[in-house]
Structure 1
Amino acid sequence: MVVRIDWEKVWKKLPAAPFCFLGFAFARAWAEVPYLSPQASFPFQTGSLSLWFDGATAVALAAFALGANRIAPLSSRRHVLLVTVLLHLASNCLSLCTHLLPSTAPFLSLPAVFTGGVGVAFALMLWAEFFSCFNALKIALYYSMSLILSFFCVLLMRGLAFEWLWTCNALLPAASMLCLWRSFASLPEEDRPPVPSRRFSFPFKPALVVALYAFALGMTLPLTIETIGVDSNPGVVAAALVVYGLVMTKGDDLDLSLLWKLALPATLLALVPLGGLLPFGDVLPGMLASGGYTLFVTLIMCILGNLSYRYGICALCSSR
């Protein structure tokens, strides 16, 4: 019996997304290459500098949250996209100096890390504001597709000579902000992030659960980071493919609780020592933890983004 597949029908069933909506992928890829990916030749893959990078990003995000009522929506402020690109580019230029003149590394490494971390914080909040303009299903679709595209961006950049790698990495923030600009331009005025009119409390319970998943990720990923990377590893892309597949097959009938029902066992299994029991047991815990964390963060993004969408809350204010 020969099974014939109508590929045209299959193609038409795939959820569509304008390419510019996936520009978040370039922002993720930028952070992965110089600071997080162990296979890149940037000079910042040391534990202390990566921690400083994460710390700078966290402090900037906290500052955005505390000042949300004064600066939201961030995307409506003039030149903010340009400032974001310039912060990333400053980090790239400083990293180039440390590569060409290693004697400058003690003086320029931390400024490069700080400017990069603050630039990433800007990019994260800007894209969060954009995603909050949609319902939960579309957030899951655009976010999962961005994760997949980010994985392939990093994959294509690995193995490049430093000159080409630096050039491609320097272009990523500009590509991300260009996509963001076109994405907001495609939205009707009434769908854009609103100006905050009142205070909103932060949903601490989801944040605490995310912290637990992050703890599990932190327990397992250091054991496999040299092999699979951090943000753009096979576990992340597998989780993104699961989300995309659920959106494709379930559509409006998708029960988002499936995401945490998949994330929890994956994360618990990641804590089981599998080194000598299964093929690829040395990298499987990191992949499972990354996948579980990605599934749960996607769920939280859908929940918070949908709250912003339904009640007209700017994403920057919902981060308080």
Structure 2
Amino acid sequence: MQSFKALVVESGEPYRAVLREARLEELPPGEVLVRVAYSSLNYKDGLAITGAGKVIRSFPMVPGIDLAGVVLASESPEFQPGDEVILTGYGIGERHWGGMAELARVRAEWLVPLPEGLSLKEAMGIGTAGFTAMLALMALEAHSIDPAREVLVTGAAGGVGSLAVALLAQRGYRVVAATGRPGEEAYLRSLGAAEVLERSLLTAPARPLESERFGGAVDTVGGAVLAGVLPRMAYGGSVAACGNAGGARLETTVFPFILRGVNLLGIDSVMCPREKRRLAWQRLARELPKALLEATVKTVTLDEVPALAQAILQGQVRGRVVVQLAP
């Protein structure tokens, strides 16, 4: 295969993402050549494809911050042709050609073997979003969520939020799902949410400390939403922060931290250590109900991605969008 189909973002005027045939020699260096079966569309991909955010570091660039596929060739003893693998993070789709192409050449140390019990499509139904949600759950568990308290998920109808709701509910927590899309209540309850909260209740003016309610929270939004979550945390509660779709600035007080011992936990899925990655993927394969995963996933072709990139930035995409590359 000397040429392959790819979505390529090019700089200049106008900034554009084009579908074209790419050549094998255009691929960046790496020890492993992967035939990509599936990628997925994430918020960061929407920024990259539309140019709405300065995500891409060099041009031309194939977007797609995650991929799943089959090894075609390997210079690393860790992987052999035919191995099924997953890659999320490490700057693919930003600094290194990513998953929205039929082929990818990557570094062996970035790859994780597909865990038993998952298909390649299911892995991208989970993707960076589900991987991030699992890292958030692991962080909350490490800080001992009070099982008597509710757990809040913000941005609950999005990719990370949907899977966080499903994972937390599966673990037996009473999950409150906050969203700016009230029409998604039935969907969120189907994932396991016990209650759906209107997002505006979190962004309304609040006192430095409100009534203690939540023992844990997964915040995928940032900005004013995260600022509204912190005063509502119970004593010793923890917030796993993993997104900034609502803004990167955080205007709050120190009172939740110094009077209630609240923990603010940063979740990074990009450079997460490899062994932690393996553990997170193994847990996802065991713990995420396949029926609920299917309910969050929409499968599209590469041709549909540019239009969906606009939609995901406008908050019009529910759950996960899987991009099919292989027939």
In which range does the TM-score fall when normalised by the shorter chain?
Answer: under 0.3
Structure with the larger helix share:
1
- Larger RCO (alpha carbons 8 Å, 6+ apart): 1
TM-score normalised by length of structure 2:
0.22
TM-score (norm 1): 0.22
**Where is the strand percentage greater, Structure 1 or Structure 2?**
2
